[in-house]
Structure 1
Amino acid sequence: MSLYFAFHFPEYRKNQIELLTLLVLALIQAKDIRHTALAERCGGNAQTASVIRKIERFFDRHPVCHADVARLVLTLLPDTKKREFAIDRTNWKLGRTDVNALFLAVIWRGVAVPLLFELLPHGGNSDTSTRLTLLDNTLTLLDCWEVATLYADREFIGQEWIQGLAERGIPITVRLRVDTRIEEMPAGDWLQDLQPDRKFMLLDQMTVYGVPMNVVLTRTDQGEALIVASNATTAERILKGYRQRWKIECLFRALKTKGFNLENTHMTLPAHVTRLLCLLILGYVWSVLVGIDQDAKLKKHGRRAWSVVTLGLRSLVRACACHIENSADDLLNLIQLWMPLQRIA
C-alpha cells in the first residue's frame, strides 16, 4: 500500500509514507482513533509503548494536510457531471473544550465524502469569513463552473455569505428561516398565504439576500415550516435536490458512532485534530470505494440495511484478517482501488 500512497504523495519521505500507510490500515481494523487502539493493530515486532510513541510523533509533525488529501479525494472520485457539495459542522467536547469542525463534502454516487474542513476556535456557528475561506480553498482544486450547487441548512444564511458565493460563481440551495425576507417580506408571511388545498408554494426569481433565487415553501409532516431557496435549479426541483443535504449527516455518523468513533479522541490541539481528520478521510474514502458497488438488502421502508461505508469497512476488516491468517489476495485487490481509475458516476 505504501507504493500507492507514494504515487499520490510524491513529496513525502519514505518513512512518512510508511507511517501513514500503517495508520490507515490500523484505523480500518480498529474502527477507533485512540492511540492505544491504533497501536494494537499496527504490524511489526515493536513493543506497544514504542508504537504509541510513533503514533504520537505522527500527530505532532507528519506533513499530511487536508489540501493534499482533498486533491486525492477528487482524483479517486471522478465525475463527468457538475459536482454537488454540502456544507455543515460537526462538534464534540472533551471536558469543557469544544472541538468544532466545519466540513465541505462532495456528493459522489449518493454518498457524501469529506473534502475540506476548517477547525473553529470556538463552539457554535461558523462565521461568514471562515465559510468563504473554505470555499476559496475549494476553488484552488476545481473551477466554479464544475460546481452544480452547494447544499446548506439554516445556519448558512446571511447577505454577505450568499452574495459572496454569487460573486464566486457558486450556486447554493439553502434552507431559510421563517424570518428571512423574500422580496422584503418575511418568508413566514408568504407561507401563511398557502392555500389549504395546496402542499407547496413555488416562487420564481425572488430576491433573497440581494440575489435572485427560486423558492419553495411548504410544511413538514410535523407542521414545521420548510422554506428552501436556490439559484441552481427550478422551484419545482428544489426539494428533490435538497434531500441530498442529509448525506452529510450520514457522513458525520460514519465518522463517529457508526464507523470510526471520532469522539473517542482526547486530542484538542488544532494541528493534532487536523492530522486526525486527514487520517479519517483516507480511511473513509477507501471504505466508500470498496462498498460503493456492493449489494445490500433493503428494509421495508426501502432504504438500505447497511450504508456504503459500513459495507466497505466490513470488507476491509475481513480482508485484513485474511491477510494475517492466510492470503493477501483480497487485501491487495482492495488496495488497488487507490489508483485513479475512471470511476465515473
Structure 2
Amino acid sequence: MKSLSLCLASHFPEYRKNQVGLLALLVLTLIQAKDVRHAALAERCQGNAQTASVIRKIERFFDKHPLCPLDVARLVLALLPDAKRREFSLDRTNWKLGLTDVNALVLAVLWRGVAVPLLFELLPHSGNSDTGTRLALFDEALTLLDCREVATVYADREFIGQAWIEGLAERGLPITVRLRVDSRIDGLPAGEWLHGLQPGNEKLLVERAEVYGLPMNVVLTWTDQGEPLIVASNATAARQILKGYRKRWKIERLFRALKTKGFNLENTHMTLLGHVKRLLCLLTLAYVWCVLVGIDQDTVIKKHGRRAWSVVTLGLRSLVRACSRQSEIAADALLHLIQLWTPRQTAIGESVGY
C-alpha cells in the first residue's frame, strides 16, 4: 500500500499524508471487495483494528475527505493521453434506496474503445437533467482541456433542445445526438422525413439542415426492431454519423461495470450528495486502474465479433489476484501494476473496445 500511496501523493500533492494513505487503502479494498458497502470494505482492510473501528474510519472518509471530481478528472486525463481529439459520451445512471432516488449525470471520455468517467453531477431529483446543469458540467470540463481538443460529444434523445445545443456551440463543443421523431429538421418534424423510407439498410442522408438553430448533418433510418433512428451531428459527415454514434453505447457498459458487472454501486446505502460524490470519485480511481491493467490483455473474440471479457473485467481480475496472493512474486506483480499510475506521455495503440 505504501507504493500506491506514494503514486497517489504525486497526483494529489495538496492532500495530507494521512488523507492519501486512507485513499490508497480504500482503492485497494474496493478492488478486492468489488462492493461499495462499508462493511464489505472494512472486511478487506489490513491491520488489527476492530471492524467497527474500521467502519468508522470509512464513514469519516465519505464525510470529510477532500477528494473531489475535478481532482480525479485531472488525474484521468493525465493517465489516459490521446494524440487525437477526444470523444465524450453523456448520460445518466440512477438507482433507488427505498423511496430515495440517486441520480447521476455522467460525462465519460472515450479512450482506446473504453468509456471512462471524467466528471459527474448528482441531481437532487429523479428524471432528466436541465440545460443549466449540463452546461455547468461542460464548463467544469473546459477548465481541464481546450474545446479544440474535443472531437464530439455523443448523447441520446434525452439531451436535446435549442438552448442546450446552442450552449455547446457557443463553447466550441460539437455534438452527435439522437433526435426524437418530433424534433424539427429544416422546419419539418423528423418523423415526416422518414415517410417512404423502408425498414432495413435504407438511409436518408441530409447535409447542413437546420436543427435546433444550427446547421447539422443528419442521418435517418430504422433500427432492426422497426424503431426510428435519427441522429444529427455538427462534427461528422452524414455518411459517417452512425458509425460514430455506436460509440455512445460504451457509456452503458461503463454503468454496468460500476454496478452489477463490477463494483455493485447500487448496493450503497449512502444517499447524501457529498457522500455519493466521494464514492463516485473513489470508483473512478478503481475503474481507471482496471482499464490501465486490462487494456493490453488479450481475450477470445466470440462469433458475433465482441470480446469474451471486457477490458475492465480483465483488469479487475488481475488486480484482485495480485492483491490477494501472498508471495514475493505477487508483491512484485502488484508493484508493477501500481506503476501504471505514472502518467503516460503519448497515446498507445489502437482502440480495442469491449
TM-score, normalised to structure 1's length?
Answer: 0.98
Equivalent residue for 1:319?
A: 322
Give the alignment partner of residue 224 of structure 1, picking from 215, 224, 227. Answer: 227
Give the alignment partner of residue 54 of structure 1, picking from 54, 57, 64. Answer: 57
Equivalent residue for 2:279?
A: 276
Segments of 4+ moved more than 3 angstroms: 195-198, 323-327
What residue identity is the alignment partner of 1:154? R
Q: Give how far 1:327 is off.
A: 3.6
Distance 1:146 1:224 in 2: 34
SS in 2 for 1:11: coil
1:24 aligns with 2:27: yes
Equivalent residue for 1:108?
A: 111
Distance 2:320 2:21 in 1: 20
Show CA shifts across 1:85-111 (max 9, x none): 000000000000000000000000000
Distance 1:218 1:132 in 2: 30
SS in 1 for 2:231: strand
Q: Give how far 1:197 is off.
A: 8.8
TM-score, normalised to structure 2's length?
Answer: 0.96
Q: Check the 8 A contact 1:76/1:343 in 2, yes or no.
A: no
Equivalent residue for 2:15?
A: 12
Equivalent residue for 1:128?
A: 131
SS in 1 for 2:7: helix
Equivalent residue for 2:203?
A: 200
The answer for unaligned runs of 5 or more in structure 2 is: 349-354
- Cα distance, 1:246–1:54 mapped onto 2, change above 3 Å: same
What is the total number of aligned residue pairs between the two structures? 345
Equivalent residue for 2:75?
A: 72
Show CA shifts across 1:109-150 (max 9, x none): 000000000000000000000000001000000000000000
Equivalent residue for 1:164?
A: 167
SS in 2 for 1:222: coil
Fraction of identical pairs, as percent: 77
Show CA shifts across 1:235-265 (max 9, x none): 0000000000000000000000000000000
Distance 1:256 1:228 in 2: 28
Distance 1:241 1:54 in 2: 45
1:289 aligns with 2:292: yes
- Cα distance, 1:40–1:222 mapped onto 2, change above 3 Å: same
Q: Check the 8 A contact 2:199/2:221 in 1, yes or no.
A: no
Equivalent residue for 1:88?
A: 91
Q: Check the 8 A contact 2:200/2:222 in 1, yes or no.
A: no
Give the alignment partner of residue 244 of structure 2, picking from 241, 246, 252. Answer: 241
- Which segment is superposed worse, 189-198 or 262-271? 189-198
Distance 2:279 2:197 in 1: 48
- Cα distance, 1:318–1:195 mapped onto 2, change above 3 Å: closer
Distance 1:132 1:253 in 2: 25
Q: Give how far 1:343 is off.
A: 5.1
What residue identity is the alignment partner of 1:57? R
Q: Give how far 1:229 is off.
A: 0.2
- Cα distance, 1:52–1:195 mapped onto 2, change above 3 Å: closer
Distance 1:343 1:62 in 2: 32
1:310 aligns with 2:313: yes
Q: Check the 8 A contact 1:323/1:331 in 2, yes or no.
A: no
SS in 1 for 2:47: coil
1:333 aligns with 2:336: yes
Q: Give how far 1:325 is off.
A: 8.3
